[in-house]
């Protein structure tokens, strides 16, 4: 799934169930999810139900890993990359066939990034500064170059829903509301309820299958 964006500088807080969203007048995806049924180097899209998989990829012309959320099953590591710096977190209860919520925050003024997993904060880590240039945002694939070069073995297989992205750092209270599926302020960069996207390959839009919480791995 691809999202069209104009050039911008970002102060990022990204939340996903695994989910993927976009700004302005898009499709209302409330109650819906993307299903990625197989490994592919073409299907693009993000709540997650997932192995070693690229969940969310934001690349700029200068940097392929401006914001990358990647799960390495061999290391049991959930690894956000911010400005090409890995801030990996291991020993998380990121198990198959269960929904998980993932939120990554990044303050470009301080360079500090942080992962929130199922509503709980992880340690803050230093990850660099501002994103420049027009971003290319893709769910379900890792961009090995700007907007292209996908590896089927790094593709997402599973279900995603409720992706939001802000151009500012949201509060811990808002993150916890999101994780608990309570009322929260939707993203102003990516908004699941107004999603402007293009699905490519074998990606399906289906009714969301979720009890509580978000991101399910296969």
* pLDDT tens readout for residues 93-128: 877 778 888 888 888 788 888 999 888 999 999 887
Residue numbers in the chain where pLDDT is lower than 50: 3-12, 16-24, 42-44, 46-47, 50, 212-218
Beta carbons within 8 Å of 68's beta carbon, 6+ residues apart:
54, 56, 57, 58, 79, 80, 81, 142
Q: How many CA atoms lie within 13 A of 31 on its CB side?
A: 1
End-to-end CA distance of the chain: 19
Q: DSSP 3-state assignment of 147?
A: coil
The answer, as to whether pTM is greater than 0.85, is no
Structure-derived torsion over alpha carbons of residues 64, 156, 8, 126, reported in degrees to the nearest 10: -70
Rounded to an integer, what distance in angstroms lies between the CA atom of residue 37 and that of residue 49? 11
């Amino acid at each position: 799934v691809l999202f069209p964006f104009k050039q911008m500088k970002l102060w990022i807080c990204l939340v996903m169930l695994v989910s993927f969203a976009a700004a302005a007048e898009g499709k209302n995806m409330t109650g819906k999810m993307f299903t990625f049924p197989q490994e592919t180097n073409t299907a693009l899209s993000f709540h997650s139900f997932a192995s070693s998989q690229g969940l969310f990829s934001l690349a700029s012309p200068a940097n392929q890993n401006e914001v990358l959320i990647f799960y390495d099953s061999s290391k049991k590591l959930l690894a956000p990359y911010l400005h090409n710096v890995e801030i990996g977190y291991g020993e998380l209860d990121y198990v198959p066939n269960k929904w998980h919520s993932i939120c990554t925050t990044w303050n470009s003024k301080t360079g500090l990034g942080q992962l929130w997993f199922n509503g709980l904060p992880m340690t803050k880590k230093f990850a660099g500064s501002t994103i420049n240039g027009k971003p290319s945002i893709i769910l379900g694939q890792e961009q090995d170059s700007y907007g292209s070069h996908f590896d089927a073995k790094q593709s997402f297989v599973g279900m995603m829903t409720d992706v939001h992205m802000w151009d500012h750092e949201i509060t811990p209270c808002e993150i916890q509301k999101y994780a608990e599926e309570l009322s929260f302020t939707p993203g102003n960069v990516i908004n699941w309820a107004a999603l402007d996207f293009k699905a490519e390959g074998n990606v399906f839009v289906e009714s969301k299958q979720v009890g509580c919480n978000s991101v399910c791995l296969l």
